[in-house]
Homo-oligomer: A and B are copies of this chain.
Amino acid sequence: MPAPAEFLKYVDAQSDAFISRLSDAVSIASISGDPAYRPKVVEMSNWLNAQLQAVGVTTKQVDLGTHVMDGKTLNLPPAILGRIGEDKSKKTVLIYGHFDVQPASKSDGWDTEPFVLTKHEDGRLIGRGSSDDKGPVLGWVNVLQWHHETQTPLPVNLVFCFEGMEENGSEGLDALVVKERDGWFKGVDCVCISDNYWLNTRTPALTYGLRGLVYFKLNISGPGRDLHSGVFGRTVHEPMTDLISLMSRLVDQGGNILVPGVDDMVSAADTEERALYEKLDYSIADVEAAAGGKIALSQEKTTVLMGRMRLPSLSLHGIEGAFAGPGAKTVIPAKVGGKFSIRLVPPQTPDSVEPLVRTYIESEFAKLGSKNTMELELLHSGRPWVADWKHWNYEAAKIATEAIYKQKPDLTREGGSIPVTLTFAETLNCNVLLLPMGRGDDGAHSTNEKLDRSNFIEGTKLLGTYLYEVAAQAGN
Give residues in A with beta carbon < 8 Å to B: 211, 213, 215, 217, 221-225, 227-238, 240-242, 244-245, 247-248, 251-253, 255, 287, 290-297, 304-305, 307-308, 311-320, 322-334, 339, 341, 343, 368-372, 379-380, 414-417
For A308, give its contact among B215, B234, B291 (CB under 8 Å).
B234
CB–CB B308/A232 < 8 A:
yes
Known: A245-B253, A287-B236, A307-B234. A317 touches B229 (CB 8 A): yes
How far, in whole Å, are A369 and B238 apart by their CA atoms in the complex?
29
- Using Cβ atoms and an 8 Å threshold, which residues of chain B touch A294? 371
- Closest chain B residue to A211 by CB distance? B230
- Using Cβ atoms and an 8 Å threshold, which residues of chain B touch A325? 320
For A291, give its contact among B234, B236, B380 (CB under 8 Å).
B236
CB–CB A317/B322 < 8 A:
yes
For A330, give its contact among B255, B315, B320, B330 (CB under 8 Å).
B315
- Using Cβ atoms and an 8 Å threshold, which residues of chain B touch A290? 231-232
CB–CB A227/B291 < 8 A:
yes
Query: Which 10 residue pairs spanning A and B have beta carbons closest together?
Result: A224-B292, A230-B416, A233-B313, A318-B323, A318-B322, A234-B313, A248-B248, A234-B307, A324-B324, A240-B316
- Using Cβ atoms and an 8 Å threshold, which residues of chain B touch A417? 230
How far, in whole Å, are A386 and B240 apart by their CA atoms in the complex?
29
Which among A244, A322, A370 has the greatest number of chain B C-beta atoms within 10 A?
A244
CB–CB B319/A324 < 8 A:
yes
User: Please, could you name 27 A-B residue pairs with CB atoms under 8 Å apart, sorted by A?
Assistant: A225-B292, A229-B313, A229-B315, A229-B317, A229-B415, A230-B414, A230-B417, A231-B414, A231-B415, A232-B415, A233-B314, A233-B415, A234-B314, A234-B415, A235-B308, A236-B291, A238-B315, A240-B317, A241-B252, A244-B316, A245-B248, A317-B330, A317-B331, A318-B322, A320-B325, A320-B326, A330-B416
CB–CB A319/B318 < 8 A:
yes
Known: A235-B297, A308-B233. A228 touches B323 (CB 8 A): no
How far, in whole Å, are A287 and B221 apart by their CA atoms in the complex?
17
CB–CB B235/A296 < 8 A:
yes
- Using Cβ atoms and an 8 Å threshold, which residues of chain B touch A314? 233-234
For A235, give its contact among B222, B240, B307, B324 (CB under 8 Å).
B307
- Using Cβ atoms and an 8 Å threshold, which residues of chain B touch A232? 290-291, 308, 415
- Using Cβ atoms and an 8 Å threshold, which residues of chain B touch A227? 291
CB–CB A236/B297 < 8 A:
yes
Known: A230-B414, A233-B315, A308-B232. A293 touches B222 (CB 8 A): yes
CB–CB B324/A230 < 8 A:
no
- Using Cβ atoms and an 8 Å threshold, which residues of chain B touch A343? 229-230, 233-234
Closest Cβ of chain B to A58, distance in Å, is: 36
CB–CB B225/A316 < 8 A:
no
- Closest chain B residue to A323 by CB distance? B318
Known: A225-B292, A253-B242, A316-B241. A416 touches B231 (CB 8 A): yes
- Using Cβ atoms and an 8 Å threshold, which residues of chain B touch A315? 229, 233, 238, 240-241, 330, 332
- Closest chain B residue to A312 by CB distance? B234
- Using Cβ atoms and an 8 Å threshold, which residues of chain B touch A215? 328, 330
How far, in whole Å, are A312 and B324 apart by their CA atoms in the complex?
24
- Closest chain B residue to A245 by CB distance? B248
Closest Cβ of chain B to A93, distance in Å, is: 27
